[in-house]
């Protein structure tokens, strides 16, 4: 079953620390523009050329096209191939997607340990979706000590869902001393961003 956390096309060439040449940037933008107007064959041609040249962002996008069967025949193994090429260059969104594919068994046998390893690589680069994923995995396992690491990291980046969870950790004393003041602080941060669950808990707190 495919994870509910969906992949997306990447459009920002500026995500790289090293500037790309203007010709390459223009070609990449052409691929993104083609994708956005549903001209997937052109997008696939552009991203294939750039991906074969080693561009990790184009490799990521080409992986998405294979995963979705847009402009190319649907092929999970090819999707994994290109995501992995990008991930091995340190591109955090691709590291996250490699994790998703291991978790869901897309293009490779399902492997929870490998999924966690790749989510961790992305999380080490402060990639918020991977931090959320790891928090969810460890919470589901009731491994609150490991969950707290990622809940706190995501909460510190301003994620309201993990701010709510961090409040719950303090409120319940999960892997941290019970601390109503800290619970209120994190529930309030989540509520300020529109979390109805956090607002409801705050109303019930003494």
Separation CA 56–CA 177 (nearest Å): 43
Mind listing the pLDDT tens digit for each residue in 86-145? Answer: 999 999 999 999 999 999 999 999 999 999 999 999 999 999 999 999 999 999 999 999
Torsion of CA 84, 68, 101, 1, to 10 degrees: 180
> Domain 129-206: which topology?
1.25.40
Separation CA 112–CA 115 (nearest Å): 5
Q: What interhelical angle do 22-36 and 56-68 show, nearest 10?
A: 20
Rounded to two decimals, the pTM is: 0.84
Looking at 1.20.58.1880, 1.25.40.10, 3.30.1280.10, 3.40.50.970, the CATH number of the domain 1-125 comes to 1.25.40.10
Q: Is the pLDDT of residue 7 over 80?
A: no
Task: With cut-offs at 50, 70 and 90, classify the pLDDT of residue 54.
Answer: very high
| 160 closest CA partner among 200, 197, 203, 124 | 197
Q: Is the pLDDT of residue 34 over 50?
A: yes
DSSP state of 15: G
Domain limits, CATH 1.25.40.10, in the chain: 1-125, 129-206
Which run of H or E residues covers position 113?
helix 112-123
**What is the percentage of the chain residues whose pLDDT exceeds 70?**
87
Query: Tokens 């696939």 — which residue?
Result: 44
Q: What share of the chain is helix, strand, coil (3-state, %, to 5)?
A: 70, 0, 30
């Amino acid at each position: 079953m495919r994870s509910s956390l969906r992949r997306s096309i990447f459009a920002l060439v500026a995500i790289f620390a090293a500037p790309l040449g203007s010709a390459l940037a223009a070609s990449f933008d052409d691929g993104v523009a083609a994708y956005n107007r549903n001209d997937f064959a052109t997008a696939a041609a552009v991203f294939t050329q750039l991906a074969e040249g080693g561009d990790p962002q184009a490799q990521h996008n080409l992986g998405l096209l294979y995963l979705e069967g847009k402009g190319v025949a649907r092929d999970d193994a090819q999707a994994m191939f290109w995501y992995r090429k990008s991930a091995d260059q340190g591109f955090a969104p691709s590291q996250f997607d490699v994790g998703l594919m291991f978790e869901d068994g897309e293009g490779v046998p399902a492997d929870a340990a490998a999924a966690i390893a790749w989510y961790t690589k992305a999380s080490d680069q402060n990639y918020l979706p991977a931090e959320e994923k790891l928090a969810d995995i460890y919470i589901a396992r009731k491994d609150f000590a490991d969950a707290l690491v990622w809940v706190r990291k995501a909460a510190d980046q301003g994620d309201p869902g993990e701010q709510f969870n961090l409040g719950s950790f303090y409120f319940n004393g999960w892997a941290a001393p019970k601390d109503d003041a800290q619970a209120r602080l994190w529930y309030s941060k989540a509520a300020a961003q529109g979390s109805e669950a956090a607002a409801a808990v705050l109303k019930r707190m003494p």
